[in-house]
Chains A and B, each alone.
Chain A
Amino acid sequence: MTAFLLGRAVWSASVVWLVATAVFVIYFAVPRDAARLVAGSRASAQTLALVRARLGLDRPLVSQYVAFLGRLRRGDLGESFLTQERVTTIIARDAAVSGSLALGGVVLWLALGIGAGVAAARRPTSRAARTLEAAALACYSMPPFLIGQLLLFFLFFRLSRAGLDLFPPGSYVAFTDDPWRWAHFLVLPWVSVALVTAATYSRLTKSVLLETLQENYIRAARAKGVSESRIVYGHALRASLAPVMNQLGADVGGLVGGLVVIEVVFGLPGLGREAVQALSTQDLPVIMGIAIVSALFVVTANFAVDVAHVLIDPRLRTN
Chain B
Amino acid sequence: MRMDRTTFAACATIAVIVLVAALAPVMAAVTGHGATQQFLDIGLSASGVPVPPNHTFLFGTDGLGRDVLVRIAYGSRVSVTVGLLASALAVLFGALVGIAAAWAGGMVDAVLSRTMDAFLAFPFIVLALALVAVIGSSLAVSIIVIASFSWASVARVVRSQVLSIREHEYVLAARAIGANHVRIMVVTILPNVAPTLIVYTTLLIPGAIVTEATLSFLGLSVTPPAPSWGNMLADAMRYYRVAWWLVLFPAGAVVVTTLACNVVGDRVRDAFDPRRGSTERTGLRTAA
Contacts and interface: CB of A to CB of B under 8 A. Distances in A.
B134 interface: yes
Contacts of B120: 250, 253
A233 interface: no
A290 B251 contact: no
Interface string A129-154: 00000000110111111100110110
Interface stretch (B15-23, B101-109, B190-198, B255-263): B255-263
Contact of B233 (A149, A260, A299): A149
Contact of A253 (B122, B129, B135): B122
Where chain A touches its partner, the secondary structure class is: helix
A42 to B, nearest CB: 23
A276 B130 CA distance: 10
A286 B120 CA distance: 24
B80 interface: no
B213 A143 contact: yes
Given A145-B214, A261-B218, A22 B127 contact: yes
Interface stretch (A26-34, A105-113, A176-184): A26-34
A295 B134 contact: no
Given A11-B117, A253-B123, A291-B126, A149 B240 contact: yes
Question: Which are the 3 A-B pairs with shortest beta-carbon distances?
Answer: A257-B125, A256-B123, A141-B258
30 contacts: A19-B127, A23-B130, A26-B134, A30-B135, A137-B262, A137-B263, A141-B210, A141-B259, A141-B261, A141-B262, A142-B254, A142-B258, A144-B214, A146-B251, A146-B254, A149-B237, A149-B251, A152-B240, A153-B244, A157-B240, A253-B121, A256-B125, A261-B125, A261-B217, A276-B218, A288-B130, A291-B127, A291-B130, A297-B123, A302-B121
Given A137-B259, A143-B211, 13 more contacts: A11-B117, A27-B134, A141-B255, A145-B213, A257-B123, A260-B126, A260-B218, A275-B126, A276-B129, A279-B220, A284-B134, A290-B126, A295-B122
Interface of A: 11, 14-15, 18-19, 22-23, 26-27, 30, 32, 137-138, 140-146, 149-150, 152-153, 157, 250, 252-254, 256-257, 260-261, 264-265, 272, 275-276, 278-280, 282, 284, 287-288, 290-291, 294-295, 297-299, 302
